[in-house]
Amino acid sequence: MSPQATKDLFRQAWARFPTGIAVITFRQADGAIHGLTANAVCSVSLNPLLVLVCVDHNSRSYPMLMAASRFVMNFLAQGQEDISRFFASRDAKGHPPFRFRRTLHGDPILEGSVASLDAAITERNIAGDHTIFIARVEEIDLTDVPPLVFHTGKYSAVAPPIHTD
């Protein structure tokens, strides 16, 4: 029989699942820019274009996102590990290791990302100790740089393709 599910086994199982890394950037009510490193992100729907991000109720970002109407989902590139660490830290110190530019909606895009999706929040659904923020994508910015990968708690790169034909 398989072992009983625990928080620790749950964490270990998900650590074995490689993901990209997103930074969710948004404007606060006073115009200040905030960001959150997140890999619990997903494409939801093509018609309409929807994405989701799951946000921890204990994060500082949670009440800020509850008050926000839009966010940008930036997929990080190889070499942006310092940006991931910066936005995963509650009390980031020193000079921020990133530059922003603005979307047509005036939202902050992280320079050098693989892709950035500017989206309007349409739903907030509580799920356990997280809230799922669903948003309709209105602007998309693409580059062709290689992505950053997260696996077994470490930053990594995409391996060469496996040829099966």
89 binds ligand FMN (CB under 6 A): yes
What type of residue sits at position 117? L
Residues paired with 55 in a beta bridge: 131
Phi, psi at 15, each rounded to 5°: -65, -25
C-alpha torsion sign, points 107, 80, 148, 13: negative
Could you tell me if 21 and 37 are in contact, meaning their C-beta atoms sit under 8 angstroms apart? yes
Report the candidate in 95, 40, 87, 84 with the shortest Cα–Cα distance to residue 61. Answer: 87
38 binds ligand FMN (CB under 6 A): yes
Compute how many residues bind ligand FMN; rule: CB under 6 A: 16
Q: Which two tokens stand for residue 4?
A: 């009983």
Closer to ligand FMN by CB, 104 or 127: give it: 127
33 binds ligand FMN (CB under 6 A): no
113 binds ligand FMN (CB under 6 A): no
Position among 11, 15, 17, 60 found at the interface with ligand FMN (CB under 6 A): 60
Position among 25, 39, 103, 113 found at the interface with ligand FMN (CB under 6 A): 39
| Contact residues: ligand FMN, CB under 6 A | 21, 36-40, 54-56, 59-61, 88-90, 150
